[in-house]
Chains A and B, each alone.
Chain A
Amino acid sequence: MTKYLPLLLVLAGPAGCIDATHDKAVDALGGEAPGVRPGPLHRPGQPCVTCHGGEGPGNSEFSLAGTVYLVSGQATPAPNVIVQLEDSTGVAGTIPTNDVGTFYVDANVWRPKYPVQVTVIYGTLDKQMQTVIGRAGSCADCHTDPPGMLSPGRVYVALSQMQLKNAKP
């Protein structure tokens, strides 16, 4: 048995690589909302790439993902908004938000070369993000609610209900 010990230790090595910071970030997100199964509609507004960044526990890996809301300061999600992304090499694409306002980019399809600039498009309204994304894959890494010295608040398409109404497709 002892002659196999080195082999066992080598095989057990990867399991010993625990990233406490990552685990803590995952734990901080809490459990699933009651009645919502894991899938494209779960956990809107949370930093998707924390779990879907390749380190788990999410199975699918996203390079960019987030949730868009209709009006600044309000929590109504924005389905069918077009999110336009372009990276520094000029590779660009658009992706629609789903029923809970969430979009995600499969990391196997595209890994952007940062920085990335983002525009959200809703009807006749298009709004480009004030800054570029330097490296964060999740919108909610920076766009948390409420706004504060380290967050501009949620991602939104309109400043007011009036602006939203005028932009309606």
Chain B
Amino acid sequence: MTARNLLSLVVLAALSSAPAACSTPPSDERIGIIAPNASEAAFGPVADFLDHRCGSLDCHGQPGRNLRIFGCEGMRLLNTDAPICSRAQGGRPTSPDEHTATYRSLVGLEPAVMSEVVANHGRDPELLTFIRKARGTEAHKGGALFVPGDEQDVCVTSWLSGQTNLDACNGAFSYPTFPPLPGQ
């Protein structure tokens, strides 16, 4: 085979394979991820803590944020609800549907990275941007909120590991802390 014939063969092969390379995947194709536990028992306490700590209306309780947190301390899912938790004051506690909405927003931020962290039982949670931001290792308008190992951090990272630490989530509600005022 001459060099010219060989070149023609290569060009022909390239042209014939081009359509296959440019074809789009079927529209019904789905790629699964290894998702963290979405159950009320596992994620409900984490969602309530995130609503308390991060979900105020001037932070992640806004529809324009990438991470959107829903709950009675901030943005509500239904337009019949207001950001008031106490029934005595005309409010309503956070609903399971709001937990689910928070879950979808959180997991949907970086699904592939979330998948990797969950597959590794929560090892190296700082692969996730939201953990880096909460810990302040990446720029965050709200500043560094979690210290690795504190109750807030354990609440969220234990959920990522597959075993939500409920004691930590309960304790995390005491944040943010304020020094006592004189006379208190």
- Contacts A149-B76, A159-B89 given; indicate if A135 touches B83 (C-beta within 8 A): no
Partner of B73, one of A117, A130, A147: A130
Main secondary structure of the interface of B (DSSP, over half): loop
A133 interfacial contact with B, CB 8 Å: yes
Which residues on the B side are within 8 Å of A115 (C-beta)? 176
- The CA of A25 and the CA of B181, in the complex, are separated in Å by 36
Contact string against A for B residues 81-114, beta-carbon threshold 8 Å, 1 for contact and 0 otherwise: 1111110111100000000000000000000000
- The CA of A86 and the CA of B179, in the complex, are separated in Å by 9
Return the chain B residue nearest A116 by Cβ.
B178
B142 touches A117 (CB 8 A): no
- Stretch of B24-32, B35-43, B56-64, B131-139 at the chain-chain interface: B56-64
A30 interfacial contact with B, CB 8 Å: no
Main secondary structure of the interface of A (DSSP, over half): loop
B178 touches A90 (CB 8 A): yes
Number of interface residues of A (CB under 8 A): 26
A161 interfacial contact with B, CB 8 Å: no
- The CA of A132 and the CA of B181, in the complex, are separated in Å by 16
A31 interfacial contact with B, CB 8 Å: no
A150 touches B75 (CB 8 A): yes
- The CA of A151 and the CA of B89, in the complex, are separated in Å by 14
| Interchain nearest-CB distance for B179 vs A (Å) | 3
Contact string against B for A residues 34-72, beta-carbon threshold 8 Å, 1 for contact and 0 otherwise: 000000000000000000000000000000000000001
B56 touches A132 (CB 8 A): yes
B82 touches A147 (CB 8 A): yes
A149 touches B178 (CB 8 A): no
B78 interfacial contact with A, CB 8 Å: yes
B57 touches A151 (CB 8 A): yes
B179 touches A135 (CB 8 A): no
- Contacts A92-B181, A148-B79, A149-B76 given; indicate if A130 touches B85 (C-beta within 8 A): yes
Partner of B56, one of A72, A133, A153, A159: A133
B78 touches A149 (CB 8 A): yes
Which residues on the A side are within 8 Å of B76 (C-beta)? 149-150
| Interchain nearest-CB distance for A17 vs B (Å) | 21
A26 interfacial contact with B, CB 8 Å: no
> What are 6 A-B pairs with beta-carbon distances under 8 A?
A88-B176, A89-B179, A130-B83, A130-B84, A141-B57, A147-B84
Q: Give residues in A with beta carbon < 8 Å to B.
A: 72, 86, 88-90, 92, 114-115, 117, 130-136, 141-142, 147-153, 159
Given contacts A115-B176, A147-B82, 14 further A-B contacts (CB under 8 A): A72-B90, A88-B176, A89-B179, A130-B84, A130-B86, A131-B52, A134-B142, A135-B141, A136-B57, A149-B78, A150-B61, A150-B75, A151-B57, A159-B89
